[in-house]
Amino acid sequence: MKLCEECHKAAAAVFLKLAVNNKVTETHLCPACAAKKGIGLGLETGAFNISDIVGNMSGYFKDFLPPERKTLRCRNCGLKYSEFKETGRLGCPECYESFGPQLTELMMRIHGASQHAGRGYAGGASLKLSRAEVARRLEELRADLNAAVAAEDFEGAARLRDAIKTLENRHG
């Protein structure tokens, strides 16, 4: 029987194993000490919510952020990257651009890829964009295409060419 690492009196019933930066730490707590730390599993009511567990563990990870990411902010809403890491929620659509490299890295770690490869949204094909938005996207795609050709990334250039054709045909 393992004793709680906080009070050293009661039997440990909550076992947390955290792996951060290839370093694994284990914590053994009794239900009372786990509740004091905000780790409520909802098992006493029969309700089990994984987001409660993940949300409660977010405080453990904020100390592992490098200093440059702790001060990173969204240009539009002012949300700090460290706040995003705590809550798991972005503040506005501009956050996706402000934290772009960090979100790409996060998606790579979580999903193994940073681009969606599953089914598309059923209404996605009928999505109408304004002419200004279409022109802006085409301009970006063409600039990316020129950069890919200059870098001799012909596979990437082919994907960009196809994306340009699709956008022109759909909103042409």
Instruction: Select from 119, 72, 122 the least CA-distant residue to 97.
Output: 72
Distances, alpha carbon 65 to alpha carbons 10, 79, 105, in Å: 33, 15, 14
Rounded to whole angstroms, the Cα distance separating 96 from 81 reads 11
Cβ proximity of 37 and 29 under 8 Å = yes
Rounded to whole angstroms, the Cα distance separating 117 from 107 reads 13
Q: Is 121 helix (H, G, I), strand (E, B) or coil?
A: coil
Model pLDDT for residues 103-152, shown as the tens digit of each residue: 888 888 887 777 777 666 655 555 667 788 888 889 999 999 999 999 99
Segment of 49-58, 59-68, 78-87 carrying the highest mean pLDDT: 78-87
Whether residue 168 is predicted with pLDDT greater than 80 in this model: the reply is yes
Whether residue 102 is predicted with pLDDT greater than 60 in this model: the reply is yes
Q: What pLDDT is attached to residue 158?
A: 93
Rounded to whole angstroms, the Cα distance separating 141 from 118 reads 22
Model pLDDT for residues 14-52, shown as the tens digit of each residue: 888 777 767 778 888 888 888 887 775 554 444 445 555
Residue 28, token pair as written in the block: 């053994």
